[in-house]
Amino acid sequence: MQNRAQWQSRLGFILAATGSAVGLGNVWKFPYITGMNGGGLFVLIYLLCIAGVGLPILAAEVLLGRTTAQSPVGAFRNLSGKGSPWVLVGLLGVITAGTILSYYGVVAGWCLDYILLSVDGRLLGTAPEEIPSLFPELYGDATRNVVWLTIFVAATIWVILGGVRRGVEKASRILMPLLFVMLAVLLVNSFTLPGLGEAVDFLFAPRPENLTPAGVLEALGHSFFSLSVAMGAMLTYGSYLSKSESIPATSLAVGGLDTVISVVACLVLFPIIFSFGMEASSGPGLVFMSIPTALVQLPLGALWSVLFFALLFLAAWSSAISLLEVLVAYGIDEWKLSRRKSTLLFGSVIYLLGIPSALSGSEGFFGKGLQELTGRNWFDWFDYVASNWFLPLGGLGISIFVAWKLEDQLRRTAFTEGTPEAWQARLYAGWLMLLRYLAPVAIVAIFLHVIGVI
C-alpha cells in the first residue's frame, strides 16, 4: 500500500477530478434538460441539488478513497471488515463505471464524426434544413459507430496505460486548460449574437409554471451524474490524494468548476439556438441536430463547428479516462494484476460491451429489435439502468455508510485534515447533517419517482 501512486500536486488532483466531472453531462445533457424543463427555475433547483446533496456525497467519496488508499471494493472492505455486505456498494460502483463507459464512448464517437463532417465539407455542403437529418443517418450507421467507438476506447486505454501521474494527470494538465480556452472562445462568440438577451432571460428568469416534480428529480439525478459521484470515480481519484490536502476545499473546487461549466455551456448554446429561432426544448437532439444547423450559418461556420465538437470530445475523453481508471484500479488492487494487464483486460471488456450500444440505432437486434420487444434499445437500457438505478443506489450506499456507519473520530479527522482550524467545526457539522438526512431522503424520492409512486 505504501507504493500507491499519488498526484503530483493539489492542482493535479483538481484538474483530473474536474476532467472526470466535466463531460457530456455538462455540454450535452445539462443544456437539453434545461431546455426541456423551461430554464430559469430548473437551473436554480439544479444548483441547490449540487450544493445540498451532490457536493456532500462528493466529499464523502473522496474521504473514503483517501482514508483507505484503495479503490471502491477495497475501501469498503477496509472500513467495514471482510465479508461485510457494504463491500457490495463498492462492487456496484465498479459495475456502474463499466456500464456508463460502454455507452458513453458511443456518444463521444458522434463528436468525432461531426468533426469529420465539418472538416470534409459535408456539413457546409448540406442545406441547413437538411442538417438535422444527418444525425439519425449517423445513429443508424453501424460501421461508422463501431469505428469511432474503437478509436475512442483505444485513446482512453492509451492514457490509462501511462498510470496515474504520467497518464491521467498529464493528460488532464493538457486537456483541461485547452477545454477552458475553447469554451471561452465559444462564449465570446455567443455574446456577440442577437439571441443573447433571450438566452439570459430563459436561463435566469424563474418561470415556475414550467417546472414539474419530475423535473426536480431529474435535476437531482443529473447532479450525481455530472459530479461523477455515486459510482467510485471520485473515490478512486481520492485514493491518490495526499493526506495533507483539505477534502472540503478540493471537493468544492471540483464541484464548483463542474457547475460553472454547465452554466457556461448553456450560455454558449442558448444564444445560438435563439438567434436562429430554434426550439430550446428539442431534447437530446439539441446538440447534434440544432446546434450544427445553426453553427454552419455563422461566418466561418465550419470552424465553429469543429471547435464545438472538439470541445465536447475532450470533455468526454477526460471523463471516460476516470471511468476506465475505476475498473483498472479494481483489477490492480483486487486481482493483483499489473496496470498493463488490467487496462487491456477491462479496456477489451468495455469495448465488447460498447458494440451493442454502437449498433443501437440500426435495424438489428440491439437496435430496433430490442426497441420493439422492450421499448428501449440497448443504449437506452444501459443509460436508464445506470442513471436511474445504479447511481442513486450507489449514492444512497455511500452516504449512509459514511454518515451513519463510519466511526466519528476517524471521519472527523479525515474530513478536517488540511482545513483551516476556524472552519473545521462548522463545515464538519454542516456536511454531516446534509449527508445524514437530506441526501438519503432526496435519493429515496428519486426511487419513488422511478417506480412511479411520485
> What are the CA-CA distances from residue 202 to residues 12, 85, 198, 263, 274 (Å)?
36, 47, 6, 12, 10
* Euclidean distance between the first and the last CA atom of the chain, given in angstroms as a whole number: 46
Which residue from 7, 12, 13, 23 is in contact with ligand PHE, where contact means CB under 6 A?
23
Between 312 and 359, name the residue whose CB sits nearer to ligand PHE.
312
C-alpha grid cell, residue 5: 501512486
**Residue 60 Cα distances to 81, 232, 361, angstroms:** 19, 11, 38
Site string for ligand PHE, 233-262 (x = CB under 6 A): x-----------------------------
How many residues form the binding site for ligand PHE (CB under 6 A)? 15
Grid coordinates representing 399? 452516504
Name the DSSP letter for residue 386: I
Q: In terms of DSSP H, where are the helices of 205-338?
A: 213-227, 233-238, 247-275, 285, 291-295, 301-334
Question: Rounded to whole angstroms, how far apart are CA atoms 170 and 180?
Answer: 16
Chain centroid, CA 37 distance in Å = 20
Among 12, 19, 25, 331, binds ligand PHE (CB under 6 A): 25
Closest to ligand PHE by CB, 68 vs 99, is 99
Site for ligand PHE in 339-398 (CB under 6 A): none
223 binds ligand PHE (CB under 6 A): no
Q: What share of the chain is helix, strand, coil (3-state, %, to 5)?
A: 80, 0, 20
Q: What residue type is assigned to position 356 of the chain?
A: P
- 98 or 331: CB nearest ligand PHE: 98
- Tell me the window of 21-29, 244-252, 362-370, 373-381 that interacts with ligand PHE (CB under 6 A): 21-29
Residue span 83-122 as binding mask against ligand PHE, x where in contact by CB under 6 A, dash where not: -----------------x----------------------
Residue 310 engages ligand PHE in binding (rule: CB under 6 A): no
Q: Which is nearer to ligand PHE, 25 or 35 (CB)?
A: 25
Using CB under 6 A, which of the segments 31-39, 45-53, 225-233, 371-379 binds ligand PHE? 225-233
Q: HEC profile for 390-433?
A: HHHHHHHHHHHHHHHHCCHHHHHHHHHCCCCHHHHHHHHHHHHH
- Applying CB under 6 A, the span of 136-144, 147-155, 227-235, 281-289 interacting with ligand PHE comes to 227-235
Burial of 198 (0-12, 13-18, 19+ CB in 10 A): middle
- List the one residue from 231, 263, 272, 312 that touches ligand PHE (CB under 6 A): 231
Cell of 201: 432571460
Which listed residue (226, 251, 342, 399) binds ligand PHE by CB under 6 A? 226
How many residues can be counted in the chain?
454
- Shortest distance, position 176 Cβ to ligand PHE, whole Å: 14
CA distances (Å), origin 200, targets 247, 340, 380: 34, 48, 32
Nearest distance from residue 276's CB to ligand PHE, in Å? Answer: 26
Which helix (H) or strand (E) is 381 found in, with range? helix 378-385
Min dist. Cβ of residue 20 to ligand PHE (A): 5
Part of the chain binding ligand PHE (CB under 6 A), chosen from 73-81, 173-181, 238-246, 316-324? 316-324
> Closest separation between CB of residue 100 and ligand PHE, Å?
6
User: Which CB, 239 or 322, lies closer to ligand PHE?
Assistant: 322
- Which span (7-15, 209-217, 223-231, 332-340) binds ligand PHE, by CB under 6 A? 223-231
User: If DSSP codes are grouped into helix, strand and coil, which group holds residue 84?
Assistant: coil
Among 18, 26, 236, 371, binds ligand PHE (CB under 6 A): 26
Helices (H) and strands (E) in the chain, counts: 25, 0
Q: How far is the CB of 173 from ligand PHE (least distance, A)?
A: 18
Q: Could you give the CA distance from residue 334 to residue 328 in angstroms, rounded to a whole number?
A: 10
Which residue lies nearer to ligand PHE by CB, 132 or 256? 256
- Furthest C-alpha separation in the chain: 65
Out of 225, 276, 304, 381, the only residue in the binding site for ligand PHE (CB under 6 A) is: 225
- Indicate whether 319 belongs to the interface with ligand PHE (CB under 6 A): yes
Q: Which residue has the cell 495526499?
A: 242
Binding site for ligand PHE (CB under 6 A): 20-21, 23-26, 100, 225-226, 228, 231, 233, 319, 322-323
